[in-house]
Amino acid sequence: MKLLSQGNKAKSHHPDVALFYYFSILNIRHIKVAYGLNEGLALLPALLSRLQSYGIQNKALSYASKDTILVSLKDDHKLNPTLILADLHKTPLVIKETEIIPTLACGLVTQDDLELLSTPEIGEFSASHKIVKNVIRRGKWRERYIKDMERAVGLFKSIDKLQLRYQPVYPTKNLAQGNELYWESLSTHKDQGGIQKTLSSLERLCLTNYFDHHNLLKTIATLNNDPTIRLGCNISPSSLCDDLWWQSIYSELEDSPSVSSRLVIEVTEEYEISSADYPIATEIIKKLKSLGCIIALDDFGKSSSGFRNLAALDPEIIKIDMSYLHGARHSLESIGKLKALIDFCKSSNMLCVLEGVETEADLSVAREFQADLVQGYYFHKLPINGSTKRPFQQRYDPPISD
């Protein structure tokens, strides 16, 4: 297999021109603890062998440190690192018959970088751009890590079977067909159905980047094919990091301005954007906004990370987690919290989506508290013209597996 179809030959006379790509494995220590010392030590040589299989010449490859390989760009080959990263997820490394997906950082090394860093320091520098959760040498950490890896391997090997289903987001005051503000795309698996447990595994393994990149590109392709729709796509806060995935997204959106203005990026509230990640996350969000994308903060209030992430994202839309609406069915205290969140959104000039609308009573609460938008299973049950699906869903929703 050769994945050397894109890129330009580097020229070393200019200080900011790339001389190398680095590939750093960030979870070697995790593999040593979970699978054994020998398995961890075998991971970097296995990556080197895989890079050779893509047609990269031996003279272009070198070890920079115990966790980093450099690929020289001085030779004539043209490297496409995003295709290589995708293949390393879809086709795991095999260590003693165990399939392992390395948590990778990949980027460019310039002449300026080499003047500031020694070769071994390049791996440490790359690792600082992607925070990997710590190894815990007690309890059931090892068993959970192995189970998480099995789920990740299963998902990525069958990623072509992932399907997107769509749920409408409506203005609270106007639920008529065609008035959807946008449709949120939700991932399901053709054979397995829901994949929430697997997504939690990806978060713990720090492997959300490829999954989010894959779904974003599918969503962009759908928008390109249908100029009449606006779609939302979920990404994890952990995907707002300095890696090469975003360059392909930026290129797609720069080539299609009409798509950017119809794309809502929904950042989930899985974890708090850390101080180390904050500058990079805000830079990515600013870039997406400059391209015309709308930013939404999903599941707001689900965890304590909401207000921290709110400052980093500066979203146009806040989606209040469904637990507040469902709690308001039974508790005066929950009613007060829900109203306070809606009032906060309105006072901050952000559109407010009330998630989890499942009954007529839920919709009445949304209208009483003047939520701007509503979303939930209730709208899937409302028939329009004899069908429980809107025309958009009829065109794009895959059939539900038995």
The region of weakest confidence among 91-105, 222-236, 374-388 is 374-388
pLDDT confidence of residue 7: 41
pLDDT band for position 10 (cuts 50, 70, 90): very low
The pLDDT of 255-259, averaged and rounded, is: 92
The pLDDT assigned to 307 comes to: 75
Shared domain check, 327 and 256: yes
For residue 128, what are its two tokens?
A: 């600082």
Q: What is the model's pLDDT at position 308? A: 77
Give the Cα separation of 70 and 62 in Å (integer).
5
Please indicate, yes or no, whether residues 176 and 129 belong to a single structural domain of this protein: no
In tens, the pLDDT along 74-96 reads 765 577 888 999 999 999 999 99
Is 128's pLDDT higher than 50?
A: no
Mean local confidence (pLDDT), 266-282: 85
Is residue 62 a part of any domain in this protein?
yes
pLDDT at position 325 is 96
Q: What DSSP string describes 124-151?
A: HHHHTTS--PPP--STTHHHHHHHHHHH
Query: Could you tell me the CA-to-CA distances from 147 to 141, 142, 200, 331 in Å, in that order?
Result: 10, 9, 11, 38
Q: Please check whether residue 273 lies inside any domain of the structure.
A: yes
**What local confidence, expressed as pLDDT, does residue 192 receive?**
64
Q: What is the dihedral of CA 324, 392, 314, 377, to 10 degrees?
A: 0
Report if residue 150 sits inside a domain.
Answer: no
The amino acid present at 101, given as its one-letter code, is: I
Number of domains forming the structure of the chain: 2
pLDDT of residue 8: 38
Give which of 24, 227, 241, 237 is closest to 119, Cα–Cα.
24
Q: Are residues 90 and 211 in the same domain?
A: no
Q: What share of the chain in percent tops pLDDT 70?
A: 81
Cβ 103 vs Cβ 209: under 8 Å: no
Structural tokens at position 26: 């960030």
Which two tokens mark 298?
């999903």
User: In this structure, is residue 1 part of a structural domain?
Assistant: no
How far apart, in Å, are the Cα atoms of 153 and each of 88, 196, 324, 345?
A: 11, 15, 35, 40
Judge if 162 and 133 occupy the same domain: no
Highest mean pLDDT among 115-119, 173-177, 231-235: 231-235
More confident residue, 261 or 271: 261
Is residue 323 in some structural domain? Answer: yes
Distance between CA 264 and CA 254 in Å, rounded? 15
Residues 133, 215, single domain; the answer is no
| Pair (366, 250) in one structural domain | yes
Is the model's pLDDT at 11 over the cut of 60? no
Q: What is the pLDDT of residues 284-299, one digit of tens each?
A: 999 999 999 999 999 9
Residue 385: both structure tokens together: 């013209």
Read off the CATH number of the domain in which 245 is found. 3.20.20.450
In terms of domains, do 61 and 174 share one? no
Regarding whether 174 and 99 lie in a shared domain, the answer is no
Q: What is the pLDDT of residue 171?
A: 94
Residues 51 and 196 in one domain: no
Based on the fold, state whether residues 171 and 110 are members of the same structural domain.
Answer: no
Write down the pLDDT at residue 138: 66
- Residue 3: its pLDDT value, please? 45
Residue 123's pLDDT band (cuts 50, 70, 90): low
**CA angle, 282 then 288 then 294, to 5°:** 105
CA 229 to chain CA centroid, Å, is: 22
Q: Which of 62-66, 136-140, 167-171, 339-343 has the lowest mean pLDDT?
A: 136-140
249 and 371 inside one domain: yes
Residue 280 domain flag: yes
- Residues 382 and 92: their CA atoms lie apart, in Å, by 44
Query: 145: alpha, beta or left, given left = phi > 0 and alpha = psi -120 to 50?
Result: alpha
Phi and psi, residue 103, nearest 5°? -80, 110
The chain-wide mean pLDDT, for the chain, equals: 84
In angstroms, the CA 179 to CA 177 distance is 6
Tell which of 138, 167, 189 closes a domain. 138
Q: What is the mean pLDDT of residues 177-205?
A: 85
Question: Residue 120: pLDDT band by 50, 70, 90 thresholds?
Answer: low
CA distance 269 to 323: 14
94 within 8 A of 149, measured Cβ to Cβ: no
Q: Are 225 and 258 in contact (CB under 8 A)?
A: no
CATH code of residue 131: 3.30.70.270
Residues 63 and 110 occupy one common structural domain: yes
Domain containing 294 equals 158-396
Q: Is the pLDDT of residue 240 over 50?
A: yes
DSSP for 71-86, written as a single string: EESSSS-B--HHHHHH
Please check whether residue 10 lies inside any domain of the structure: no
CA 154 to chain CA centroid, Å, is 18
pLDDT band at 384 (very low <50, low <70, confident <90, very high): very low
Whole-number Å distance between alpha carbons of 210 and 116: 30
Q: Using CB atoms within 10 Å of the CB of residue 90, give its burial: 0 to 12 exposed, 13 to 18 middle, 19+ buried.
A: middle
Which of 138, 170, 187 is a domain's end point?
Answer: 138
Question: Interior CA angle at 392 toward 221 and 191, to 5°?
Answer: 70
Distance (Å) of CA 203 to CA 94, 118, 197, 297: 22, 31, 10, 18
**158: its two tokens:** 């069958």
148 found inside a domain: no
Least confident of 63-67, 122-126, 163-167, 305-309: 122-126
Measured at the CA of 312, the angle between CA 210 and CA 287, to 5 degrees, comes to 60
Last residue of a domain, one of 110, 138, 166: 138
For residue 140, list its beta bridge partners.
Answer: none
Identity of the residue numbered 156: F
